[in-house]
């Protein structure tokens, strides 16, 4: 009996991909014969209409949109949507990843399910809806268990087969020895030396854990006394790296080996920092804001393509290094500092039993340990359970080993969610909290996700500024709490803050989303006659969310000047700050745009002003106060109708705005909640309500 089937994933930031990989590994252990493919490999690596079983893991990005590497697959299904038998041979199990902070929670998985069912495919499992807001594992784990039960039945695996039940096994007592880098044993320092004085590298003092109650290093009573922990088997080792005595020359390799990542539109190009300024003073506001201006200095085809395609509403990725202090800490803790800058060759371990092992395509060959830890791997991202399992395997202290096993056990899923995922601990936190565990670097890099550059919204328009691009960013600040061992800043935002005028950066244009003026669909749709200068706009941008709207307004101003337009189109900007006296992004520019009539209604909100104010507290309050006129603009009988755009980084903003519009339309359209919900969904579908919310 053929045990072949397809595991498909669509992923923007690796999470679906890593779950698909875990499912693949488990299925291999079950002696099944799966193939794992990215959705955009459709019609190359697989033909979905020829498949009989597909296990699909997909997330949402943007505003309920599929990840970039899933677009092609969604398009193919949509193109065939009139044929109800197109996928009549296909059965599928679908796991959706999302975040309930977004109003379009599970937007892409829901759309995919509808498409698959409409094309005649049949569901073999209830669709899983994992929520990053509370912890993906809470849904992913039980969903995968059900999937394995189903696969065992379908492919008649013997449930007693030891390999078939290896996902969850009793905690082992013995740790197996895993080889370290082959050629570096001669440079290993003795343990005392390698463990001493590590923390000063970070300029930190280790915070003490509370003595009562569960925390990262101590479990709850129930977990401590559980004698039957079920833990995943340690993932198979498959990499083996070797260092030479030649010094690695970083300038000879392409950043991340030239390997593309989802969302990447252009190749990386160089730009010079030409402006940095503080918008709100550090220490006085929770998330201080700064602006950064770069000049595209590179004179290449890539640079021209970048500039030609960069439009108002788009975002640009910044390539950034991981903090040197943390890289040094990891290297020293692993006794690898002396060879950190030597050429390293990463190979597949010839003794591996892992099926289809792959060297990550984003690692250059040769590279160096410092290079890959600085530029290739995201060690700030909370470790997954496989990495905890590896740390348990290598813990010399029995108490540490036990706690690590608890955290990756089936019974410990809630504590894993609380103290690892939600606390957002990093590899360095893990190493500090469990000092007796020193796994080989190969075992660690096998399990670290790729470092993906962070995108920032363009806040000016090139037609005015040529090769200059301006951004506004918040400096994120995380306090040591729960398992987090030291205070830190957001990794990319602190890199941006370190930049000075004259420094060079590498930037990459992000694939355009629908968050454009006019929306991307209006450009591609032949029926649309939308003129951007005529469409009334309701723009909601608290905090840094105002950034892309400034680029919209500059674009409108350019058009007004170049075409000598005299329109009185209504354009509202709802801008919010905690205290406008401390933080008012682009104050002079917004006020000038307001005087010019580009912004007809500049509506300011203030949530925590030092002195009294009669301004609305939140943008939602201001929207409700103008609910009647907004409703009239959005549903006016005359064309064009208003477009709503919302942008920002506030947690829950997307959901709160959705609820706010529900309330407004219910009151002013006099419809019941269900009708209003359908109206709002239609606005989203027609791309007249567009969000770009990151939290
Ligand atoms: C399309 C798009 C446009 C964007 N535009 C802008 C913009 O114009 N301006 C702007 O400022 N940002 C913007 N962002 C956000 C930006 O890309 C980054 O996500 C943001 O700057 C944070 O990156 P970082 O590396 O500094 O933080 P990171 O170190 O990546 O931390 C970010 C997140 O990780 C988690 N986290 C990390 N450490 C901890 C901890 N110790 N405790 C709890 N949680 C933790 C939190 O969820 C936190 O929100 C945009 C994002 C997108 C997707
Ligand atoms: C910029 C951004 C936009 C997002 N938009 C949505 C969304 O509209 N709906 C949703 O349910 N989740 C949304 N999410 C949450 C992701 O889908 C979720 O974090 C998921 O676990 C990511 O999986 P991936 O790494 O495989 O892409 C968004 C996340 C980010 C960073």
Walking along the chain (695 residues) 10 residues at a time, the average pLDDT comes out as 95 94 90 96 97 98 95 97 96 97 96 98 98 92 95 82 46 39 43 54 65 87 93 90 94 96 96 97 91 96 95 96 95 94 95 89 96 98 94 96 95 94 94 95 96 97 86 94 88 98 98 87 52 90 97 93 87 96 96 96 95 90 97 89 93 93 97 96 93 90
Pocket of ligand 1 (CB under 6 A): 315, 380, 424, 454-457, 471-474, 476, 478, 484, 490-493, 544, 547, 649, 692, 694
Q: Which atom of ligand 1 is nearest to the CA of 510?
A: 1
Query: What's residue 161's pLDDT?
Result: 47
Beta strand pairing call for 537-540 and 571-577: parallel
Cβ-based burial of 601 (10 A; exposed 0-12, middle 13-18, buried ≥19): middle
Using alpha carbons, select from 499, 472, 457, 461 the residue that is nearest to residue 584.
Answer: 472
Burial 289-308 (b: 16+ CB within 10 A, else e): bbbbbbebebeeeebeebbe
Q: What is the dihedral of CA 360, 366, 371, 375, to 10 degrees?
A: -40
Which residue owns the Cα nearest ligand 2 atom 7?
A: 64
Q: Where are the domains of the chain?
A: 4-166, 520-693
Instruction: Evaluate whether 472 touches 293 at the Cβ level (below 8 Å).
Output: no
Question: 4-166 and 520-693: same fold?
Answer: yes
Say which ligand is closest to the CA of 475.
1
Going by alpha carbons, the residue nearest to atom 16 of ligand 2 is 98
| Range 520-693 classified under CATH 3.40.50.80 | yes
Q: What pLDDT, on the 0 to 100 scale, is given for residue 166? A: 44
| Ligand 2 in reach of 692 Cβ (< 6 A) | no
Query: Rounded to an integer, what distance in angstroms lies between the CA atom of residue 509 and that of residue 157?
Result: 48
Cβ of 67 less than 6 Å from ligand 2: yes
654 close to ligand 2 (CB < 6 Angstrom): no
Cα of 278 vs centre of ligand 2, distance in Å, is 30
CA of 316 to the centre of ligand 1 (A): 14
Residue 201's pLDDT is 64
44, 46, 47, 50 alpha-carbon torsion, rounded to 10°: 150
Atom 11 of ligand 1, residue of closest alpha carbon: 473
Rounded distance between C-alpha atoms, residue 69 and residue 456, angstroms: 20
In this structure, CATH architecture of domain 4-166? 3-Layer(aba) Sandwich (3.40)
* CA 491 to ligand 1 centroid distance, Å: 8
Residue 232 backbone phi and psi in degrees, to 5: -70, 150
Find the 622 Cα to ligand 1 centroid distance in Å.
Answer: 27
Cis peptide before 103 (omega within 30 of 0): no
Ligand nearest the Cα atom of residue 451 = 1
Predicted confidence at residue 271, as pLDDT, reads: 97
Q: Which two tokens mark 568?
A: 């009185």
8-state DSSP, 250: G
pLDDT at res. 51: 98
């Amino acid at each position: 009996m053929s045990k072949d089937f397809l595991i498909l994933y669509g992923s923007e930031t690796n999470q679906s991909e890593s779950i698909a990989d875990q499912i693949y590994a488990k299925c291999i252990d079950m002696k099944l014969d799966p193939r794992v493919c990215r959705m955009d490999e459709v019609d190359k690596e697989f033909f979905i209409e020829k498949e009989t079983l597909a296990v699909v893991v997909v997330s949402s990005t943007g505003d309920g949109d599929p990840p970039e590497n899933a677009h092609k697959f969604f398009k193919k299904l949509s193109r065939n949507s009139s044929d109800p038998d197109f996928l009549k041979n296909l059965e599928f199990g679908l796991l959706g990843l999302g975040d309930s902070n977004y109003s379009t929670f599970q937007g892409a998985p829901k759309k995919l399910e509808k498409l698959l069912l409409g094309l005649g495919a049949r569901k073999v499992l209830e669709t899983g809806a994992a929520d990053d807001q509370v912890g993906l594992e809470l849904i992913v784990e039980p969903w995968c268990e059900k999937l394995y039960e189903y696969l065992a039945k379908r492919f008649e695996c013997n449930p007693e087969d030891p390999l078939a039940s290896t996902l969850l096994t009793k905690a082992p007592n013995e740790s197996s020895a895993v080889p370290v880098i082959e050629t570096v044993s001669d440079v290993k320092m003795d343990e005392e030396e390698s463990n001493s004085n590590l923390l000063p590298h970070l300029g930190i003092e280790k915070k003490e854990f509370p003595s009562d109650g569960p925390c990262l290093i101590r479990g709850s009573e129930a977990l401590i006394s559980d004698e039957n922990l079920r833990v995943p088997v340690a993932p198979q080792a498959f990499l083996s790296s070797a260092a030479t005595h030649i010094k690695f020359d970083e300038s000879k390799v392409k950043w991340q080996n030239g390997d593309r990542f989802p969302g990447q539109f252009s190749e990386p190009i160089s730009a010079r920092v030409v402006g940095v300024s503080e918008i709100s003073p550090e220490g006085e506001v929770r998330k201080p804001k700064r602006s950064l201006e770069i000049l595209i200095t590179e004179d290449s085809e890539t640079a021209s393509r970048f500039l030609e395609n960069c439009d108002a509403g788009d975002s640009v990725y910044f390539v950034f290094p991981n903090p040197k202090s943390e890289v040094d800490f990891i290297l020293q803790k692993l006794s690898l500092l002396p060879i950190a800058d030597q050429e390293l060759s990463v190979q597949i371990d010839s003794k591996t039993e892992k099926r289809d092992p792959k060297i990550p395509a984003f690692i250059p060959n040769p590279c160096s340990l410092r290079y890959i830890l600085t530029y290739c791997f995201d060690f700030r991202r909370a470790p997954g359970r496989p990495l905890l399992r590896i740390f348990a395997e290598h813990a010399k202290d029995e108490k540490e080993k036990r706690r690590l096993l608890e955290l990756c056990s089936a019974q410990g899923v809630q504590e894993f969610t609380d103290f690892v995922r939600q606390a957002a601990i990093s590899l360095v936190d893990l190493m500090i909290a469990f000092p007796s565990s020193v796994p080989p670097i190969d075992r660690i890099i096998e399990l670290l996700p790729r470092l993906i550059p962070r995108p920032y919204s363009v806040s000016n328009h090139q037609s005015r500024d040529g090769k200059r691009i301006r951004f506004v960013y918040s400096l994120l600040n995380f306090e040591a709490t729960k398992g987090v061992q030291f205070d830190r800043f957001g990794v990319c935002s602190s890199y941006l803050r370190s930049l000075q005028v004259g420094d060079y950066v590498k930037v990459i244009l992000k694939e355009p989303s629908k968050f454009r003026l006019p929306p991307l669909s209006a450009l591609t749709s032949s029926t649309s006659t939308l003129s951007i200068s005529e469409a009334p706009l309701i723009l909601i941008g608290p905090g840094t969310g105002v950034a892309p709207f400034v680029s919209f307004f500059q674009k409108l101003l350019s058009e007004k000047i170049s075409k000598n337009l005299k329109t009185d189109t209504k354009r509202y900007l709802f801008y919010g700050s905690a205290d406008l006296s401390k933080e008012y992004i682009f104050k002079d520019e917004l006020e000038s745009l307001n005087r010019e009539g580009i912004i007809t209604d500049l509506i300011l909100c203030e949530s925590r002003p030092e002195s009294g104010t009669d301004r609305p507290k939140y943008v939602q309050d201001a929207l409700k106060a103008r609910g009647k006129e907004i409703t009239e603009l959005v549903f006016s009988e005359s064309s064009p109708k208003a477009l709503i755009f919302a942008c920002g980084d506030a947690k829950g903003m997307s959901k709160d705005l959705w609820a706010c519009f529900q309330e407004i339309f219910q009151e002013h359209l006099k419809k019941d909640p269900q009708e209003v919900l359908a109206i709002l969904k239609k606005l989203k579908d027609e791309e007249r309500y567009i969000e770009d919310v990151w939290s």
